[in-house]
A = this chain, B = another copy of it.
Amino acid sequence: MNISEFAKEAGVSVSAVSRYFNDGYLSDDKRALIEEALQRTGYVPSYSARTVRTKVTKLVGVILPKLSSESISRVTEGISEVLGREGFELLLVNTANDYSREISSLELFRQNRVDGVILLASVFTDLHRSVLAKMRVPVVIVGQQLKGYNCVCHNDMGAAYAMTSLMIEKGGKLPAFIGANPDDNAAGRDRRIGYEKALADHGITPDPKLMEIAKFNMDSGYEKAKRILSGRKRPDCIFCATDNIAAGAMLYCREQGIKIPDEVMIGGVGDSRMGKVLYSPLSSVHLHYKTAGTEGAKMLLAEMRDSSDVRRILQLEFDVVERDSTARKYETV
């Protein structure tokens, strides 16, 4: 059933029906007529037909590298909370860490399918930049900084610096690092820089043999911890770029009977929910993922309402969460 059939059914004009669903410039009796017919027929207007006219989709495209990650799903939860409240739906694309899908999704979103885009990418290539430049709707990037775009990000460098410093101040003399893909400016590069800066500020020279790059999962953390801890020089504290990596490292220590924190301290980033129930409760740095989502969504809403020429970077601060994994009973002096 379309609007004119329905209008006939209700005994009113097409415009009356349209007004009923829009501005509501309508007399009460017509309104009643329409409501009655609505009950009777179950008519629902077609969204796409409306979109053809109004150019409004009430849809926001969200591009994610992964769904089943705690940090990402928290961000998404924040996004959906704010956008849902404003009557927007999420058109979600899970790229499964396939960069080419990031590009093709952006292309897709150019087809007037969405009113705005939120992008959670981990790496930006030139291709990204060129497709982004062609977008005709506002874009907000969450979790990363990209010049020329509105971004909500974390203080990754500060977070890594704080966690590493904590371990050094607890007596760590020989720190090790298990990081993430350096092409990822936030979790990879910045957290590494933070680690190195903490070492420098405490007069420690980083040992390249004690630095590894892991994937974003436990198994990889386990493997890298194995390499680091089976070397000749055994570190007394390990900074891990994510809590998942840290959990994997902890698993290895447990298996090998390496005491945490007395023999090795472990620190992570992200403050994931499992942290406090781990074998040794994990010290971590809380990043405000959900807030990143809500703020990113608000930024996008503002841009969709009226676009500004001024680009904004919102950096969210962190909170260090100290737990057992860095709680040295005695400070080895």
B250 touches A111 (CB 8 A): no
A247 to chain B, nearest CB (A): 5
- State how many copies of this chain the complex holds: 2
Q: Which of A89, A96, A110, A134 has the most CB of B within 10 A?
A: A89
User: How close is A90's CB to chain B, nearest CB, in angstroms?
Assistant: 5
29 A-B pairs within 8 Å (CB atoms) are namely: A44-B111, A46-B112, A47-B48, A47-B111, A47-B112, A48-B48, A48-B51, A59-B91, A62-B92, A67-B77, A68-B70, A68-B73, A70-B70, A73-B73, A76-B94, A77-B96, A80-B93, A84-B93, A84-B101, A89-B91, A89-B92, A90-B91, A90-B92, A90-B93, A218-B277, A247-B274, A247-B277, A251-B276, A273-B274
Chain B residues closer than 8 Å to A181, beta-carbon distance: none
> How many residues on A have C-beta within 8 angstroms of the other chain's C-beta atoms?
50
- A112/B44 in contact, CB under 8 A: yes
- A108: B residues at CB distance < 8 A: 89
Is A110 touching B44 in the complex (CB atoms < 8 A)?
A: yes
Q: Is the C-beta of A113 less than 8 angstroms from some C-beta in chain B?
A: yes
* CA A141 to CA B326, docked complex, whole Å: 45
On whether the beta carbons of A274 and B276 are closer than 8 Å, the reply is: no
Q: In the complex, what distance in Å separates the CA atom of A138 from the CA atom of B51?
A: 23
Contact, CB under 8 Å: A47 / B113 = yes
CA of A84 to CA of B100, assembled, Å: 13
Once the chains bind, are B81 and A77 in contact (CB under 8 Å)? Answer: no
Q: Tell me if A's interface is mostly helix, strand, loop or mixed.
A: helix
Report yes or no: A91 in contact with B94, Cβ–Cβ below 8 A: no
Bound CA–CA A46/B248 (angstroms): 47
- Per-residue CB contact flags for chain A residues 172-214 toward chain B (1 = under 8 Å, else 0) read 0000000000000000000000000000000000000000000
> How many Å from the CB of A93 to the closest CB on chain B?
7
Residues of chain B with a CB closer than 8 A to A110's CB:
44
| Residue in B closest to A66 when the chains form the complex, CB atoms | B77
- B-chain residues with CB within 8 Å of residue A57 when the two chains form the complex: 48
In the complex, A81 Cα to B96 Cα: how many Å?
A: 8
CB distance from A127 to the nearest CB of B (A): 15
Which one of B77, B111, B134, B250 contacts A68 once the chains associate, using CB atoms below 8 Å? B77
A31 located at the interface, meaning its Cβ lies under 8 Å from any Cβ of chain B in the complex:
no
Residues in B neighbouring A278, C-beta threshold 8 A = 274, 277-279
Within 8 A of B (CB), among A92-109: 92-94, 96, 101, 107-108
Instruction: Chain B residues near A248: list those with CB within 8 A.
Output: 277
> 1/0 per position for A264-279, CB-CB distance to B under 8 A?
0000000001101111
Partner of A93, one of B49, B52, B89: B89
